[in-house]
Structure 1
């Protein structure tokens, strides 16, 4: 049988080691869909419920596998739907290859049905590499380059293939003028290392400091042993950007947890009081949570020079691999014998975790959302992968989930879009079918995207060695993060018409489609419900009703935020009384005596 363009595309993806393509069908990719059937579904066509979910699943797969993800959609509306997931990949620096159909070449420019200018549509999100394949001989180089650029730049790339081209007989590029060959699949990266003189300058700054702070981001994930050694030498505390939450475990006494609006008080205090700052693999954008300008001497290590020196006035900028750079830096760093700074960090961190325990136990109606994550943290397997959606769920993920050695976690960091929690978990399960995946999702995100993707979980879970894919819904019938933002940033009371959600039973929906479920309305039921879910032989939905009036108080609430929230209450917020009681009880836990 003659191999056509679609057949070659799938063969080449197999050669690259691609095991699945997250996709949704449509007539703009009918030629490719037929090729999946002829190829015996290798790679597997993983049918999402929506193209945006396919893109999110590819992002989740890439984040947790360490390689690239592939998504596919038809022309027109299907292509448009991919965009949000691809922007999530772009902003979090994740390699994803999008394969997109287009109207037949004979109809292009004729205002044909579902014809869009895809090159204009994708030119920003796929700015690193975007190409339309118009003849078969173009395909090997175009596909291989899309993959290599995605990996090299840690970015989304896009390949547009018109419908008629998909069905043409494949013909390889020739050794001829205006033909571009390609090479066998594969890409090997070295580990760039900054000049030795610059590393020595960085060591001098660290040696001169008395109070060293480290900010670790996702780019430090491969440098955990070096970060530990450096922290031990310098007596530093280590704060983590949210995308780097799993870089170091939270049971290390000098790891202060997340930084920023969703961060912890010890991370805030670490930055407030330090005199030296080392940033490793992070592009954390909120400079107000970093030391005051002029307070600290600073060094930054990052693989990408485009993003270095732009968040804080750094004296030495080291463009290189984090692990290799730190390996060369450490022998030049002298051990600090005065450990008073380290003792302060450890004391602040231990006190904070006690505060988190106490805040999780504050009475609420019907349950405290902090306790949901606190109870999970007591029971979570060490090989678990945790995804969080945006919204107030991200607050509790950031502050209350203790990462331990071997755990992984992520969320939509820079785009902070609603809806990726469940599809991320699906992507994680295809990356690691032998590990449990847990998605923490608000009911707004669940209604937006998650409910439908439960059907995707049901369809594919038997392919996973470990069937556990747990979706925990924080059920408060409120678009809670935006409600609090209205109060704290604009002084506006909650507007019920925009913020209230229709009430449904997520547990009943899960049961109806054959998944395990538990509906929880009592605080003491939360822990046993997690135990049921973690012991289940199938995917599981935890539908936990919780209080929308537990405030996501930042580690350092500004006078402006306090004033705005007070104004919202005075202007007739419908939950004003509950807000006041819950907020006061929660904040009091920071000053009450700690348990011993």
Structure 2
């Protein structure tokens, strides 16, 4: 039997080391689906419940494996559904390749069923590389370039393959004009280091500073040891952008935790009081949480020259890979003997963790959501992977969860879309099947798409050497983050018609799907529930009834935010008294001495 274009596509993916394709079938990719059958499902076709979830799973896989994630969908609606996940990859700089079908070439331009002009549709999201393959000889070069570009640019790319071409006999490119060969699969990993004079300038700035702060993002992940060494030399505190939460563990006494609206008070004070700032691998956008303009001299290190110097008026911009650049910089940095600045940072951090514990232990109705994550922190394995969804639960992931050991974690950092928590966890399990994975998800995200993906987990969990995948649902029957944004940003009371969610038992649904399922409606049950879930021999779900009126108060609530909150209450918020009591209790633990 002759090898088809679909057959060769899978062969080339195997050559690249691709072990699974997250996908949903449709007649626009029937030729490729048939090839999976002929290839004994190698690479594995991982069937999600929706194409958007396939893209999110590919993003999660890429984030936690360091390899390219591959997703696939049919023409028309399937290709459209991939877009949100692909934009998540684009904005968080994640290598993902999308393979999408298209109507037969003979029907193109004829308003055929499911014919969508995919090139302009995908032009923005796959701007680094997008190609429609129209003859077999195109395929090797097109696929190889899509993968290489995704890895080199840390971006999504896309391949469009018409359905009739997928079933045609494959013929390789020839040694003739207008045909383009390709090299064997490989991705070079150059180490880019800035020139010595720029490194010396950066060292001069750091050496002159008396109160040094370091901000790390996901681009610093391969340079954790070097960041620690630099922090020891300079006496700096280290704050973490949300995508860089797993760069350094939180048990280091000078790590101030997350920064920004979802961040900590020690990170806010670190930036407020420093005179020198080093940014490593981060494109953190909220300048109001960085030092006042003109107050601090700043240095930035980033692999992408197009993303550097965008967020703060940096004096020295070092375009280079974080690990290599820091290694070259370290010998030029002098140790600071005066440790008063470091002592102050460590005192602030220690005090903050005490405040976090006291806030987590406050009574609520029925369960304080902060305590959900605090109890997890006490028990989480040191090799766990944590995924978080977008919503008020993200605050507790950012502030209350102590990373330690080899823990990894991520979320939709820049797009901040709802829905990736569970599919990210699925991607994480395929990336690291021997590690436990925990997904922290609000009930809004679970109702949006997380429930269906529990079926995907049930289908594939026996492939994983460690079957533990724990989904924790913050069950408060409220689209809670938006409710708080209404109150704090626009001074509007909660609008029940848009914010209230229908009541549902996530535990019962999960139990029916074969999960270990625990319903929690009392804080005293939390510890036992986490122990049970983390000891289970199969995936588990915690359905925790949380108080929606526990406020996600930022580390520095502005006067305008407090004024808007008061206006919301005065306008008749349906839970005014309870939210004021919970807010006062929570803030008091931060402000009052103990």
Considering the TM-score relative to the shorter chain, is it more than 0.5?
A: yes
Counterpart of 1:304 in structure 2 is: 304
- 2:78 is aligned to 78
- Residue aligning to 1:480: 480
User: In structure 1, the residue corresponding to 2:311 is in which secondary structure?
Assistant: coil
Kindly indicate whether residue 78 of structure 2 is the aligned counterpart of residue 47 of structure 1.
no
Q: How does 1:103-118 map to 2 (within 5 A)?
A: 103-118=103-118
Q: Does 1:498 align with 2:461?
A: no
Aligned to 1:440: 440
Q: Which residue of 2 aligns with 1:528?
A: 528
Who is 2:124 aligned against?
A: 124
Report the CA distance between 1:593 and its aligned residue: 3.4
SS in 1 for 2:294: coil
1:395 — aligned with what? 395
What's the secondary structure of 1:590's corresponding residue? helix
Task: State how 1:170-319 maps to structure 2 within 5 Å.
Answer: 170-319=170-319
Q: Quote the Cα distance in structure 1 between the aligned partners of 2:151 and 2:452.
A: 30
Shift of residue 255, structure 1, vs aligned partner? 0.2
Following superposition, the deviation at residue 591 of structure 1 comes to 2.7
**By how many angstroms is 1:188 displaced?**
1.8
**TM-score, structure 1 normalization:** 0.99
Structure 1 residue 592: deviation in Å?
A: 3.3
- What SS does the aligned partner of 1:470 have? strand
8 Å Cα contact 1:492-1:571 kept in structure 2: yes
What secondary structure is seen at the aligned counterpart in 2 of 1:210?
A: coil
Residue correspondences, number: 594
d(CA) in 2 for partners of 1:199, 1:593 = 44
For each residue in 1:355-410, what CA deviation from the matched residue of structure 2 results, as whole angstroms up to 9, or x when unmatched? Answer: 00000011000000000000000000000000000000110000000000200000
**With structure 2 as the length reference, what TM-score do the two structures score?**
1.00
Q: Which residue in 2 is equivalent to 1:565? A: 565
Q: Which runs of 5+ in 2 are unaligned?
A: none
Deviations 1:167-187 (A, max 9, x none): 000000000000010011111
Per-residue deviation, 1:460:
0.1
For 2:30, the equivalent position in structure 1 comes to 30
User: Take 1:7 and 1:516, find their aligned partners in 2: how far apart are those partners?
Assistant: 40
Distance in 1, Cα, partners of 2:5 & 2:240? 46
**Aligned pair 1:589/2:589, yes or no?**
yes
In structure 1, C-alpha distance between the alignment counterparts of 2:267 and 2:417, rounded to whole Å: 25
Contact kept in structure 2, 1:433 and 1:464, CA below 8 Å = yes
Structure 1 SS opposite 2:267: helix
Partner of residue 537, structure 2: 537
For 1:511 and 1:280, locate their aligned partners in 2 and report how far apart those are by CA, in whole Å.
44
Describe the superposition over 1:498-550 as per-residue Cα deviations: whole angstroms up to 9, x where unpaired: 00000100000011111110000000101110000000000001000000000
Task: Please give the per-residue CA displacement for 1:227-279, whole angstroms capped at 9, x wherever unaligned.
Answer: 00000000000000000000000000000000000000000000000000000
* d(CA) in 1 for partners of 2:125, 2:513: 36
CA contact (8 A) 1:248 1:405 kept: no
The 4+ residue runs of structure 1 with deviation greater than 6 A are none
The answer to whether the aligner puts 1:17 opposite 2:17 as a matched pair is yes
Distance 1:103 1:332 in 2: 60
Once the 2 structures are TM-superposed, how far is the Cα of residue 9 of structure 1 from its aligned partner?
Answer: 0.2
1:89 and 2:77 correspond: no
CA distance in 2, matches of 1:187, 1:98: 18
Tell me the equivalent position of 1:509: 509
Q: Deviations over 1:102-154 (max 9, x none)?
A: 00001000000000000010000000000000000000000000000000000
* RMSD across aligned positions (CA): 0.4
Whether the 8 Å CA contact 1:137–1:179 is kept in 2: the answer is: yes
